[in-house]
Chains A and B, each alone.
Chain A
Amino acid sequence: MSTNPEEFEFGSHIGEERVAGAPPHGPPSLRAELRGYIIGLVLAAVLTAASFWSLDEHVIYAPGIVMALIVLGLAQVGVHLVFFLHLTTAPDNTNNALALAFGVLIVSLIFFGSIWVMYHMNANMIPTKTLMQMRGG
């Protein structure tokens, strides 16, 4: 049986078999795995540097800075997921990816939902000054 779990314990995989990409028998080589981590490190470093650099108003059109930061941040999250956590879209990783998608959905609902709700709540608040006048009058 090719699925002796012993054979597939390299790197910090979330816990699925690496059937799709990896050779079915024997471990992937140290060099290949090391290369993955180094690529990840370099990409992450470049993206981080770009994030800090883009804050400088002369580099990017000022109103676009926030959008650029969000894009760079998301890209870096992607780099970490792929190169450090070894998340793939292969069939053996479906459950992991689905769980991640569920998590991303919930996080966005809570984060953006709260901001949206709270923005409207704050906008409709009676200003404290008016409230004082109402009480006093």
Chain B
Amino acid sequence: MTLLGKLTWQAFPLDEPLPLFSGVAVFLILIGIILWIWRNGHIPYLWREWITSVDHKRIGIMYFMLGSVMLLRGFIDAIMLRTQQAMAFDAPGFLPPSHFDQVFSAHGTIMIFFVAMPFMIGLMNLIVPLQLGVRDVAFPTLNSVSFWLTAAGALLVNLSLVVGQFDRTGWLPYPPLSELRYSPGVGVDYYCWAIQISGVGTLMTGINFVTTILKLRAPGMHYTRMPMFCWTALASNLLIVAAFPVLTATLAMLLLDRYVGFHFFTDTAGGNSMLFMNLIWAWGHPEVYILVLPAFGIFSEVVSTFSCKPLFGYRSMIYATMAICIIAFMVWLHHFFTMGAGATVNSIFGIASMIIAIPTGVKIFNWLFTMYGGTVRLCTPMLWAIGFMVSFTIGGMTGVLLAVPPADFQLHNSLFLVAHFHNVIIAGVVFGAFAGYTYWFPKAFGFVLDERLGKWAFWLWLIGLWVAWGPGYIVGLEGMTRRLQSYDVAEWHPWLLVMAGGVGIILLGILAQIAQIIVSVRTRDQRRDLTGDPWDGRNLEWATSSPPPSFNFAALPNVTDLEPYWDIKTRAREIGELARPEPQYEPIPMPRNSPTGFVTAFFATITGFSLIWHIWWLVILGLVGAYATFVGFAWRDHDEVLIPAEEVARLDRANRAARATRLQEQMAERESQRESGR
């Protein structure tokens, strides 16, 4: 069977019922969905409007959908982990160690790389060009390539469920355990190639957005007039550009060790596994901020909109964001204080880790002062923001505890640490994603989500988070280390039962979110957002219709101040008609759709899969295919389509009419209030 490298029938889990059944079930569901789509004749539509789309809004939505599906997958892992630990007091539980190890590795990998990243990148895709008042990102086709490479990585991780096995070394494959000698299977290879492929996609996203934000903005939008979300997106993408190459290099070294017998991290021939920890965390710590900075931006937008006030301390917010962006690169050693760098190094990194809490604190106070004296509307996005502020502050403070090296020596790798990062990542990144999701959903789809179910989802998630991870701090202090498949300490058991209950509450929260979508889609005709401004927003994304036309703006807006759309609205209310006169409509050139992204990802998946299974001829085929795709793309002549002026005029006039009607209603409302007040 050399034709198929290491791939044999033994790769399929024919003797393990659990992965076999779940794998077959997922496979059948996928086939079912594809058949259903095919039978209803949706494939040409999907291909034309979504798969080959280079529209930043469509790509953003696809990122978010990828993140949602993977959230379900990662959450199933979480249920399994919590159930196992609830059952495994003096008992084997239902997951054997080899399977338990795969589940916690897959949970971490999926949640960070294929849930949190797609959520944040998806929201940036959807909103940043709209807020900047431009028509698309700097490199639209590259954007599509980025998305599809991320999806290819996700596909490889999920493939390991059925073909072979996943990594058993945790979400970061620490050598020497991850070296060939101790992990001879394909698990680590699945991890590495999936992350390498999606990492290239993420790096290109970073380049794309840094360029977009620095070079493409509406006329008059200076740096100090950019919405806060754009600033945090800029910082986050700068971090991507600077940190992701480190991940690529480090995993490349590990792969060289595994594939061709090099000695970077081996415990023979002078290899140094500590070097891996050092390099991987030089990426890993900035990664934390890559995820949480955009969330900070989302909260800034949400808090300001729903407090009906401009953001407090805009400038200090910029300084705080950029300070975090730089200091994020100076704290990586706090992830391995216990490895023994000595007092000098540990204390310097400890102090730097405490310093980074200061700009974060600045942000918390800015949000509080934005709410202070404002007219706070407790809509769902605002609830997520408030839940975030409370939970994240507590989670952040446990982080400051961990930044003290002597304390860290006690808490390192305990459940206290695990509770800390779940506390900050769920409360920061996941709540941020949900705040952005409920806030910008009407912009993406043209109707508002159901508020009642949204509030249910929020409360269930918030309570679930604390029930699931509050006890984690306690068992951590009681000495429970992470990743325990079974244990015999009676004091831990009740807390772990509570934690399992917490996961159940979060499950209810997720079910509420699914119900929210179903209910909202069914009743969408009553929840239409006709004006494009359902929340009385302040930035340019609300200045166009919902969903926006492919070209975003009929004429690029002229920015004269911070909060440009709020200005436009205020002026309109003063003069009693739309503030901007109808522009002279012109045909708009837009980038043409391209299958390049999809085809590249197809070849990347093939290359990755055949590298994992050592099918060398297929590797060469995949690489040649990818190169041919690039040349083919480079050779095409017509890369733009012209949207005719009549089409632009039609879409824009419809939106202007809706806005004018709403304005008249508002004026009439105000008039009648004045009447009754008199």
Q: Which residues of A contact B (CB under 8 A)?
A: 95, 102-103, 105-106, 109-110, 113-114, 116-118, 120-125
Contacts and interface: CB of A to CB of B under 8 A. Distances in A.
B333 A117 contact: yes
B112 interface: no
B282 A124 contact: no
Given A109-B330, A114-B279, A121-B340, A103 B242 contact: yes
Given A120-B345, A121-B339, A124-B341, A106 B242 contact: yes
A123 to B, nearest CB: 7
Contacts of B329: 105-106, 109-110
Contacts of B430: none
9 smallest CB-CB distances across A and B, nearest first, come from: A106-B242, A120-B341, A124-B340, A120-B342, A121-B274, A120-B345, A109-B329, A124-B342, A117-B278
B211 to A, nearest CB: 10
B275 A118 contact: yes
23 contacts: A105-B326, A105-B329, A109-B282, A109-B330, A110-B329, A113-B330, A114-B275, A114-B278, A114-B282, A117-B278, A117-B333, A117-B341, A117-B345, A118-B272, A118-B275, A120-B341, A121-B274, A121-B339, A122-B272, A123-B342, A124-B340, A124-B341, A125-B340
A125 B267 CA distance: 14
B46 interface: no
Contacts of B123: none
Contacts of B345: 116-117, 120
Contacts of A125: 340
B246 interface: yes
A79 B648 CA distance: 50
B2 interface: no
A54 B292 CA distance: 49
Given A114-B278, A121-B339, A121-B341, 18 more contacts: A95-B214, A102-B242, A105-B326, A106-B242, A106-B329, A109-B282, A109-B329, A109-B330, A110-B282, A113-B330, A113-B332, A114-B275, A117-B278, A117-B341, A117-B345, A120-B342, A122-B272, A125-B340
User: By DSSP majority rule, is chain B's interface helix, strand, loop, or mixed?
Assistant: helix
B278 to A, nearest CB: 5
A11 B214 CA distance: 23
B673 interface: no
B10 interface: no
Contacts of A122: 272, 274
Contact of B238 (A102, A110, A116): A102
B344 interface: yes
Q: How many B residues touch the partner, as a band? A: 20 to 34
A118 B274 contact: yes
B269 to A, nearest CB: 13
Contacts of A124: 340-342
A37 B479 CA distance: 66
B176 to A, nearest CB: 14
A119 B214 CA distance: 39
Interface of B: 214-215, 238, 242, 246, 272, 274-275, 278-279, 282, 326, 329-330, 332-333, 339-342, 344-345
B108 to A, nearest CB: 24
User: By DSSP majority rule, is chain A's interface helix, strand, loop, or mixed?
Assistant: helix
Nearest to A124: B340
Contacts of B246: 110
Contact of A120 (B282, B326, B344): B344
Nearest to B286: A106
Contacts of A118: 272, 274-275, 278
A106 to B, nearest CB: 4
A115 to B, nearest CB: 10
Contacts of A110: 246, 282, 329
B234 to A, nearest CB: 11
A102 B328 CA distance: 13
Contacts of B272: 118, 122
Contacts of B326: 105
B247 to A, nearest CB: 12
A117 B345 CA distance: 7
Contacts of A95: 214-215
A123 B343 CA distance: 12
A80 B215 CA distance: 25
Contacts of B275: 114, 118
A123 B274 CA distance: 12
Nearest to B341: A120
Contacts of B274: 118, 121-122
B222 to A, nearest CB: 13
A51 to B, nearest CB: 26
A114 B340 CA distance: 14
A35 B278 CA distance: 46
B535 to A, nearest CB: 34
A122 B274 CA distance: 9
Contacts of B215: 95
Of A106, A114, A122, A123, chain B has the most CB atoms within 10 Å of the CB of A106
A95 B242 CA distance: 16
Nearest to A15: B215
Contacts of A123: 342
A94 to B, nearest CB: 10
A84 to B, nearest CB: 22
A96 to B, nearest CB: 10
Nearest to A109: B329
Contacts of A121: 274, 278, 339-341
Contacts of B342: 120, 123-124
Contacts of A114: 275, 278-279, 282
B375 to A, nearest CB: 39
A13 B215 CA distance: 16
Contacts of A113: 282, 330, 332
Contacts of B341: 117, 120-121, 124
A109 B286 CA distance: 13
A105 B243 CA distance: 12
A65 B568 CA distance: 65
A95 B223 CA distance: 12
A125 to B, nearest CB: 8
Nearest to B326: A105
A108 to B, nearest CB: 10
Nearest to A107: B242
B223 to A, nearest CB: 11
A40 B20 CA distance: 64
Of B215, B329, B341, B342, chain A has the most CB atoms within 10 Å of the CB of B341
A125 B282 CA distance: 21
A114 B332 CA distance: 10
B356 to A, nearest CB: 14
Contacts of A120: 341-342, 344-345
Nearest to B239: A106
A105 B274 CA distance: 23
Contacts of B279: 114
A132 B340 CA distance: 19
A15 to B, nearest CB: 9
A125 B214 CA distance: 46
A124 B238 CA distance: 35
B408 to A, nearest CB: 16
A117 to B, nearest CB: 5
